[in-house]
A and B are shown apart, each in its own frame.
Chain A
Amino acid sequence: MSGVIGTSVKRREDAALLIGKGKYCDDFTLPNMTHAVIVRSPYGHARINSVLTTEAAEHPGVIAVFTGRDVVNSDIGGVVPTGWLLPGIKTPEHPILATDTVRYAGDGVAVVVAEDRYIARDAAELVEVDYEPLDAVTDVLAAVADGAPQLFEEAPGNISFDWDLGDAEATAAAFDRAAHTVEVDLRNNRLIPHAVEPRGCLASFDDTSGELTLYVTTQNPHLHRLLMSLASLNLPEHKMRIIAPEVGGGFGSKIHHYPDEAIASFCSMQIGRPVKWIATRSETNLTDAHGRDHASHAEIALDAQGKILGLRVKTHAAMGAYLSTFAPAVPTYLYGTLLSGQYDIPAIHVQTLGVFTNTSPVDAYRGAGRPEATFVVERLIDMAADATGLSVVEIRRRNFVSKDDFPYQTAVALAYDSGNYDGAMDRALELSGYEALRAEQKRRREAGDTKLMGIGISSFIEACGLAPSQVVGALGAQAGLYESGKVRVHPTGSVTVYTGSSAHGQGHETTFAQVVADRLSIDVDQVEVVHGDTGEVPFGMGTYGSRSAAVGGSAISTALDKVIAKSRKIAAHMLEASEDDVVFEDNAFHVRGVPSKSQGWGDVVLAAYLAHNLPEGLEPGLEETSFYNPENFTYPFGTHICVVEIDSETGAVELQRYVAVDDVGNVINPMIVDGQVHGGLAQGIGQALWEHAVYSDDGQLLSGTLLDYAVPRAHNLPFFETDRTVTPCPHNPLGVKGVGEAGSIASPATVTNAVVDALSPYGVKHMDMPLTPEKIWRAIHRNGG
């Protein structure tokens, strides 16, 4: 029905999930199915002298054991590729099972296939690997120091790439004439994604047809098929069917092509039986691509009035042991391009070095580069406020790109299409009662309150709705970033929609049904949405980068344009009117100016399929496909404000309030959008206060279980106060911008700014996340508290 866009339609996905009938990867069972367990390196860096599999292979119930040598001796490709190349980048080979050297704790060396998972685990213990441990390096700055252990001969100094963007000379000149400059060394802490469902797959190779069916925890089944066809398996794409069943969260970690799904497929091809592999929690934590892990030196230059003249950043970004699927893009084009934030900055220069370390690979994790950029910019802005004597609100206002200045070309490649930064900040200030908060803080400080109140603000921008294919192609992407949408109208008028976006909790089935129902003026229940299966859906790029509504939704919208255009031709023919005079409104075609002449949607659709009387030259049927290629990124923005209270005696932080005002453009389903904001906030607040993937110097993941790695829990978080301003995206048909990542982009800086604000009486200017009580207690006491 029209008007259904913008309403909180309840999710059609939920009933099955609530009664325990959702089918996730590990819930599938195929006849004659076997179970694989991967034998992984316990060392961060070691040479493999030998792998003895005899005892494991003889264990009762074991079907086969394969090593990296077996993969090399087979006719599959056996390597996982990276999907984004930068000039001069070193891309050492990443074999699906190591043969000579392991480069992180978790690197696979062998695989055991058995009749059940318990037997496979027993037998994995019987695989004897003779390792010769090598020196390891896990810290991103230590890895580029003189004398550091080297991961690859072809990447001297452990440098994969040295990339820069912006005008170095103009930036240097800006710093030369600045009245104020501020600099800081900061870290962006390494994170483990922690989707509650661990990664897994079920591979079934049919050796008579030569077809592989793969159920896999993926955010993008077609991308998996493409990469597996090109590199890891070398099977033709038309002989591979990849199915994303219910996927239990992803947050980026299920974008990437990992060795594991290629290993399971290889095993199935070898033994001719289905092979299931499901990671344990500690295994998924060891091997999922981690997020963030930057060390940056950042500087900002301002004139006497507090107007920003320039910004300069040098970042060392950990890549881990191998280049994961999109890894090179994350600390470059998804990071450096965002360093203008919401601000008019005439000169920016950023240099990023991609650094190999003996850790799990690092790749896109919710926000992917944009939280890191926001952290740099929003920390510098607060420090600049301190240096110039301006308030943190005033310095932002003085530097915002004005709402009259769009489109705005930044100094780092992006052209912001729209925005109203003052509007979002005004709303956040109002909603938080900002002036009263500052007054309360002043009063409490003067009274010597031992509970230190801090107020943090962060104004963020993101570039999402990934992405214009020709632009990303020029920047090194090895794929386009359009999306597919196919609308199949059935003879009786109901609709099945096929989308290349692949949901894993976002509610695409509901949201996209709303788009179709609104456009065709039919009930949402008349629309079925199909996703996540390369056997059913046209080639598409999947769900990440807050792209599904902006790109996938737009593809459906443009396919609907085609459907309506064709059905209008048929209606005009039926109404004996000129096509130009026929309008589609309220589920019927009307002749303009002749209210009595109209033809219902159902009659026109049926006529398309009966084909008894179609306009000359028009094919029967009503089914249209669109590949929507966005003309620009979308640019959601907002301002977030939070209040913390720090116990000066223990250093413990209590997050008391969190106010988020986001502008994500038009909203299709407010309930779902709120849920996305909340989830992003929890992850960003988790990064700020608790989460940290810690490696020992010799390569052990010390925070590898949920007992050591603090994922936020319900009682850790306040009630989020959210609101929106609406500045529609000017260049896509739905006017939507994307919301999946906003919360995780803004909140690390918001919370950190609040904690630093609380500690400012102790002379604290900056602290790195996570802001643990120990770190805070030390900061207070180091400065004479």
Chain B
Amino acid sequence: MNESDPRSITVVTTVNGERVERQVESRLLLSDFLRHELGLTGTHVGCEHGVCGACTVLFDGEPVRSCLTFAVQAQDHEISTVESLAPGPEKLHPIQQAFWEKHGLQCGFCTGGILMTMLPFLEENPEPTEDDVRHALSGNLCRCTGYQHIVDAVLHAAAMMRSDGGHG
């Protein structure tokens, strides 16, 4: 993308706590911006029509479908991706730890989107029932697990986060 291109727009946003500035086409999807401009490939693209939830990121703390969002809409907003949760593989966030302990993932493709959906859910609902979790999960498709171990993992994460005082 060339700065003199009339379709080129400067976007300034905060991603995982860091300010980023890029020239982008106005039609560039936020998912493609994160993945291909910033190299944050933990955000996955499963359907590009907002149904599967694999591309879910936090937009000012709220889960959104990055495949249905333009990069330019992130101007002056804060985006968090799955890469923001843990400092490294040795120090997982409790929700990641819970998914590991309860076998809440198989192929892992949907997992980032599920984590980014469940995290704000658990922050608002620290003591969910199984039914609550299933409904909160209903916007995310997983084709591998049949969801049962994901539900177990989210309930386990809730317990871990409660005992941690709600913080990772």
Please list the residues of chain A having a beta carbon within 8 angstroms of any beta carbon in chain B: 8, 10-11, 13-24, 26-27, 29, 117-118, 193-198, 246-249, 251, 280-282, 504-507, 671-672, 674-675, 677-683, 705-707, 711-717, 719-720, 743
Contacts and interface: CB of A to CB of B under 8 A. Distances in A.
Contacts of A504: 107
Given A18-B100, A196-B143, A720-B148, 6 more contacts: A17-B111, A18-B111, A18-B115, A27-B41, A195-B107, A249-B144
15 contacts: A15-B92, A16-B89, A18-B96, A18-B108, A24-B44, A246-B108, A282-B49, A505-B108, A674-B103, A675-B103, A682-B146, A714-B142, A715-B134, A715-B135, A719-B151
Consensus secondary structure, chain B interface: loop
Interface in B23-55: 25, 27-28, 32, 35-36, 40-49, 51-52, 54
Contacts of A677: 146
Nearest to A246: B108
Given A281-B47, A281-B49, A20 B83 contact: yes
Given A20-B81, A118-B25, A714-B150, A248 B52 contact: no
A716 B135 CA distance: 9
Interface of B: 25, 27-28, 32, 35-36, 40-49, 51-52, 54, 81-83, 85-86, 88-89, 92, 96, 99-101, 103, 105-112, 115, 130-131, 133-135, 137-151
A248 B82 contact: no
A123 to B, nearest CB: 15
Given A15-B89, A678-B148, A248 B44 contact: yes
Given A196-B54, A504-B107, A715-B137, A674 B46 contact: no
Contacts of A20: 40-43, 81-83, 112
A720 B152 CA distance: 12
A551 B101 CA distance: 28
A675 B108 contact: no
A46 B92 CA distance: 54
A22 B110 CA distance: 12
A27 B43 CA distance: 10
A711 B143 contact: yes
Contact of A683 (B54, B111, B143): B143
Which of A197, A671, A706 gathers most chain B CB within 10 Å? A197
A767 B13 CA distance: 55
B106 A679 contact: yes
B89 A198 contact: no
Nearest to A671: B103
Given A196-B107, A683-B143, A707-B51, A14 B137 contact: no
A715 B108 contact: no
B138 A679 contact: no
A14 B99 contact: yes
Contact of A506 (B106, B135, B143, B146): B106
Given A13-B108, A19-B82, A196 B149 contact: no
A706 B143 contact: no
Which of A195, A680, A713 gathers most chain B CB within 10 Å? A713
Nearest to B98: A18
Nearest to B150: A714
Given A197-B46, A281-B48, A679 B41 contact: no
A504 B144 CA distance: 10
A711 B145 contact: no
Contacts of B44: 24, 196-197, 248
B134 A248 contact: no
Given A10-B101, A246-B108, A715-B135, A505 B51 contact: no
A396 to B, nearest CB: 25
A676 to B, nearest CB: 8
Given A196-B141, A246-B108, A713-B138, A706 B52 contact: yes
Nearest to A680: B146
A15 to B, nearest CB: 4
Contacts of B148: 678, 717, 719-720
B143 A679 contact: yes
Given A14-B100, A19-B83, A249 B143 contact: yes
Contacts of B112: 20
Closest 9 CB pairs of A and B: A20-B42, A248-B109, A505-B107, A17-B108, A678-B146, A682-B146, A505-B106, A706-B51, A714-B137
Contacts of B150: 714
B21 to A, nearest CB: 20
B146 A681 contact: yes
A248 B135 contact: no
Contact of B146 (A118, A247, A720): A720
B110 A196 contact: yes
Contacts of B143: 193-196, 249, 251, 679, 682-683, 711
Nearest to B42: A20
Contacts of A675: 103, 106, 144-146, 149
B89 A714 contact: no
A418 B23 CA distance: 65
B133 A18 contact: no
Contacts of B96: 18-19
A199 B79 CA distance: 28
A246 B100 contact: no
A706 B47 contact: yes
B2 to A, nearest CB: 11
B100 A711 contact: no
A52 B45 CA distance: 32
Contacts of B130: 719
A507 B112 CA distance: 18
Contact of A705 (B49, B107, B131): B49
B11 to A, nearest CB: 16
Contacts of A17: 105, 108, 111
Given A247-B107, A714-B138, A682 B147 contact: yes
Nearest to A684: B146
A679 B100 contact: no
A717 B36 CA distance: 36
B83 A197 contact: no
Contact of A21 (B25, B42, B46): B42
Contacts of B108: 13-14, 17-18, 22, 246, 248, 505
A719 B96 CA distance: 22
Nearest to B136: A714
Contacts of A198: 46
A658 to B, nearest CB: 10
A21 B81 CA distance: 12
A288 B144 CA distance: 17
A197 B49 CA distance: 14
Contacts of B51: 705-707
B144 to A, nearest CB: 5
Contacts of B144: 249, 505, 675, 679
Contacts of B137: 713-715
Contacts of A21: 42, 83, 89
Contacts of B105: 14, 17-18
B23 to A, nearest CB: 14
Given A249-B144, A679-B146, A196 B103 contact: no
Contacts of A505: 106-108, 144
A18 B101 contact: no
Contact of B42 (A19, A248, A716): A19
A16 B12 CA distance: 29
B107 A717 contact: no
Contact of B147 (A10, A27, A280, A717): A717
Nearest to B99: A18
A679 B149 CA distance: 10
A117 B37 CA distance: 13
Nearest to B85: A19
A729 to B, nearest CB: 24
Contacts of B40: 20
Contacts of A671: 103
A249 B109 contact: yes
A146 B48 CA distance: 42
Given A705-B51, A714-B137, A26 B111 contact: no
